[in-house]
Amino acid sequence: MTTVSAPHGAGLSRIDTTRLRADFPILSRTVRGGRRLVYLDSGATAQRPRQVLDAERLFLEQHNSAVHRGAHQLAEEATDAYESARARIAAFVGADPGELVFTKNATEGINLVAYAMGNSSVRTGLGPETERFAVGPGDEIVITELEHHANLVPWQELCRRTGAILRWYPVTDEGRIDLDALVLTDRTRVVAFAHQSNVLGSIAPVAELVRRARAVGAFVVLDACQSVPHMPVHLTSLDVDFAVFSGHKMLGPSGVGVLYGKADLLEAMPPFLTGGSMIELVRMESSTYAPPPQRFEAGVPMTSQAVGLAAAVDYLTEIGMERVHAHELDLTGAALDGLRDIPGVRIIGPDSLDERGGAVAFVVDGVHAHDVGQVLDDRGIAVRVGHHCAWPLHRRFGVAATVRASFHVYNTGDEVAALVEGVQAAREFFGVA
């Protein structure tokens, strides 16, 4: 963990990308017949540095064993590695280790909360402490129009199972949550929203939404998939009740995500998945369950992935999340400036750096996003095209698909320039320039 260079020169945003990129083997490969890879799709999945790959390999070569079972030396070492990973990741997001549950991904984290609430709503055989999670006919689940499908469909399903009503904050033309367009009521049980939109890049007014949710006694569920990898996030200070994020978007492995829940809530919440290692006492007739976080980690968990994610957290910590965010804002500013100047390009989302992160979505008049993406791909530039799992948001902006460029700490100004040049080339190729 020493290959990250110290800050060169003055200013928080200066990251020596030349040295840092050497940590990411994949960034030096070529694609499509010898083109240098320009990877601008970190919003979908980020690339992993050697330090993360090495940590996984070291664990598997030296310590691999099933955690929280067995009394042999490897079992001890594996359990220590797994719990050490939990503690380091918890510290990274300003939480206590006991408040962090490892899940398969962030999607599972949101489903865990939604299903725990659904289970609580069937008031049979669960303790009275679970009643606070129950929802029923006429209760409201509130989300926003900009949500990723992962923070939309699980709530639709919870509503379908319980008779609760799904409501949502609309989105303004600038790509912000329109706080004036919906009033929470004393029937609102959950307010769930993305910390940063995976399409627009806009950052939600968390404090205000938490204040409003508190005023009506609703739980706050934060989708932090696009914030935790890119900026300092202190979940305890944000005062949200639950939050989720995924490993593979923050330079870590896929197959591991995190659910954060306030200690007293996790303590009272019934399980989602059940089975081995989440139990306290099992008889043929019935069982009791372990305290959190184990209650929510049924079965042998992903372990090398958790270890790899902790290594990613160490890597990011060494760089400093303020610098990561500043670096990505530099790139975002350059992308907005370059794209704005191209005739026929429309930015979908805030056209300023105010309360914004490093995802830039846009459409090109007369050229479908797929076709723009194909021209970029031909030049070695990887972007996301489509609705980015936020179909209702695209509908709201009257477009079927957008092109999205998204950044991480390893991206450079030259790569942004290549993107802008590529978009120009797409217009020329399709004869709209």
Q: Which is nearer to another protein, 94 or 386 (CB)?
A: 386
CB of 377 to another protein, least distance (A): 8
CB of 369 to another protein, least distance (A): 7
371 binds another protein (CB under 8 A): yes
Long-range pairs for 331-334 at CB < 8 Å and ≥24 separation? Answer: 331/358, 331/407, 331/411, 331/412, 331/413, 331/415, 331/416, 332/201, 332/356, 332/357, 332/358, 332/360, 332/407, 334/413, 334/416, 334/417
325-345 core/surface letters (b: 16 or more CB in 10 A; e: else): bbbbbbbbbbbbebbeebeeb
Long-range pairs for 155-162 at CB < 8 Å and ≥24 separation? Answer: 155/114, 155/190, 155/192, 157/114, 158/114, 158/115, 158/117, 158/118, 161/118, 161/121, 162/117, 162/118, 162/121, 162/135, 162/136, 162/137
Q: Which is nearer to another protein, 33 or 128 (CB)?
A: 33
Within 8 A by CB and 6+ apart from 385, the residues are: 369, 370, 372, 373, 401, 402, 403, 404
Q: Which residues are catalytic?
A: 389
Given 375, 381, 409, 416, the residue binding another protein (CB under 8 A): 375
CB of 378 to another protein, least distance (A): 4
Pairing of strands 381-382, 359-364: unpaired
Give CA–CA dist 140/56, Å, rounded: 43
Q: Where are the alpha helices (DSSP H) in 203-299?
A: 206-216, 235-238, 263-268
Q: Which is nearer to another protein, 221 or 359 (CB)?
A: 359
364 binds another protein (CB under 8 A): no
Span interacting with another protein, options 63-71, 256-264, 293-301, 387-395, rule CB under 8 A: 387-395
394 binds another protein (CB under 8 A): yes
Given 131, 217, 370, 413, the residue binding another protein (CB under 8 A): 370
Contact letters (x/-) for another protein, 13-42, by CB under 8 A?
Answer: -------------------xx---------
* Residues in 218-237 at the binding interface with another protein, rule: CB under 8 A: none
88 binds another protein (CB under 8 A): no
Q: Which is nearer to another protein, 289 or 429 (CB)?
A: 429
Rounded alpha-carbon distances, angstroms, from residue 141 to 22, 168, 278: 46, 8, 28
**289 CB-contact burial (10 Å; exposed 0-12 / middle 13-18 / buried 19+):** middle
Span interacting with another protein, options 131-139, 214-222, 349-357, 372-380, rule CB under 8 A: 372-380
**Residue 306 CA neighbour count, 13 Å, CB half:** 28
Q: Which is nearer to another protein, 240 or 376 (CB)?
A: 376
431 binds another protein (CB under 8 A): yes
Given 150, 194, 369, 381, the residue binding another protein (CB under 8 A): 369
Give CA–CA dist 42/410, Å, rounded: 10
327 binds another protein (CB under 8 A): no
Given 86, 356, 387, 408, the residue binding another protein (CB under 8 A): 387
Q: Which is nearer to another protein, 167 or 379 (CB)?
A: 379
Size of site (CB under 8 A) for another protein:
20
Given 385, 416, 419, 423, the residue binding another protein (CB under 8 A): 385
Span interacting with another protein, options 171-179, 237-245, 386-394, 414-422, rule CB under 8 A: 386-394
Given 7, 205, 333, 386, the residue binding another protein (CB under 8 A): 386
**242 CB-contact burial (10 Å; exposed 0-12 / middle 13-18 / buried 19+):** buried
Q: Which is nearer to another protein, 289 or 391 (CB)?
A: 391
Give CA–CA dist 408/181, Å, rounded: 33
Given 132, 321, 391, 417, the residue binding another protein (CB under 8 A): 391
* Residues in 146-175 at the binding interface with another protein, rule: CB under 8 A: none
Q: Which is nearer to another protein, 219 or 397 (CB)?
A: 397
Give CA–CA dist 377/385, Å, rounded: 11
What is residue 262's three-state secondary structure? Answer: coil
The one-letter amino acid code at 369 reads A
CB of 428 to another protein, least distance (A): 11
* Residues in 399-428 at the binding interface with another protein, rule: CB under 8 A: 400-401
Residues that bind another protein (CB under 8 A): 32-33, 367-371, 374-375, 378, 385-387, 391, 394, 400-401, 429-431
